[in-house]
Each structure stands twice: as structure tokens, then as C-alpha cells.
Amino acid sequence: MSSTPETETQRTSPPSLIIPAYNEAARIGRVLDVAVSSGLFSQIIVVDDASSDGTAEAAGGYSCIVVRHETNRGKAQAMLTGLQHAQGEIIAFIDADLLGVTAEHLDQLVAPVRDLGEKAVLAVFSGGRMATTLAQKITPMISGQRCLRRELFDDFDGWNTRFGIETALNDHILKRGVRQQIVQWPGAAQVMKEEKRGLIAGFGARLRMYWEILVVWLRSRFSR
């Protein structure tokens, strides 16, 4: 009796999850609680980008791979380090400071790529905290919650963009002619920089982040 050939979807191994983190010791545990207990991932890789608050040690208490940068290299390089340690053909990224994230949210992020043949999925917050929901309504494409086929990184060269990485990835995906599906994460949100660092330092960090994003966006517009 002949067996039915496996489909490409059936042969696909579970995704690898990468969590870039900088000074998130107080917050990363609740994200890892959900990610580990979800059972969705073949690997969970935390990249500590030279934190000074024990982020690597906090993550080390979970069933995950922890990689630490000795100097701060920025979010893009943390994501690249995670990718270099990832074994899956499907790569998911989430931020370390999420609030209200659930296993259902994570499944919504990876299922279209894992099960339906999509190549790129982006998750945006809705109905969680007003500030983060509003921010993502204005600029949804800079969300750090995404899932991609590994092949999309084959010719990607935007790893020097720090916080501009999301914009660089979006531009790369567009140039590749790939449709990027957006899914809603109701009830999820994120801790604001001003809450982590204080009003003045947090606002300064936010301005630097937006500047890095703007530089990448302008570069992509003028290079076409």
C-alpha cells in the first residue's frame, strides 16, 4: 500500500522564535512564560544586547537559548545574531517588553506562514493600551512582531540599521514582490520607553529611534 506524499506544509518544522532584548530583565519573563508554554516553537532564542540589568540571567531561567552581546550593537544586529543561531525555515520575532500577549496571539502570527503558504506576516496591537494602539495605527509597519520565511533574508543587507530594521525589512519585502499579511493582536500592548527610562531619557530614546527609522525610510525612497 503506497503512502501519501507529505505536503510542503507538513514537512515544515516549527518556527524558531527570536527575542532581541536590551535591559528587559523586569519584563522578559512574562513574554517567555507565554512563548515557552505555547509549544509553538522549535527554538526560542533571546539575544541580550549588552544589557546592564541582568536580562540574560532572567532569560536563563527558561527553556531557551540565550546569547549575549558584550557591547551594544542595536536591535538590527541583535536580530541578526538570533538568525545566525536559528535552525528553522520559519523565523518569528517578538519584542521583549510585550504586555497582554497570549499563545493565541503567537499562533495568529505564525500560522499563516506555517500552514497557509504566506511568506511574511506582521502583527499590530489593537484595543490594548491607548498609547501603543494609537502609535501602531499611525505607523503599523514598524511593529517588531513579525514572522518570515527564512528565504527572505537570503539577499537582505539591512543589518546596520539599528531601530530602522523594521523599515528596512518592509522595503526589502516590497522589493521582492512579497505580500505582507497584517494580523491584529487584540488586547496586546507594549511598555513605553518613557516608562522604562523616565520621561526625559525615555523621550530622548524615542526620538533617536524615530530618527533611525526616518533615515532608513528616506534612504529607501531615494534608492528606488
Indicate which CATH number applies to the domain containing 158: 3.90.550.10
More confident: 5 or 159: 159
In a domain, 138, yes or no: yes
pTM of the model: 0.82
In a domain, 140, yes or no: yes
In a domain, 1, yes or no: no
CB-based contacts of 213, cutoff 8 Å, min separation 6? 142, 163, 164, 166, 167
Domain that includes residue 196, residue range: 8-222
Number of structural domains in the chain: 1
In a domain, 3, yes or no: no
In a domain, 2, yes or no: no
**pLDDT tens for each residue of 39-73:** 999 999 999 999 999 999 999 999 999 999 999 99
**pLDDT tens for each residue of 194-209:** 567 666 665 565 566 6
Q: What is the mean pLDDT of residues 66-92?
A: 97
Q: What is the mean pLDDT of residues 137-154?
A: 83
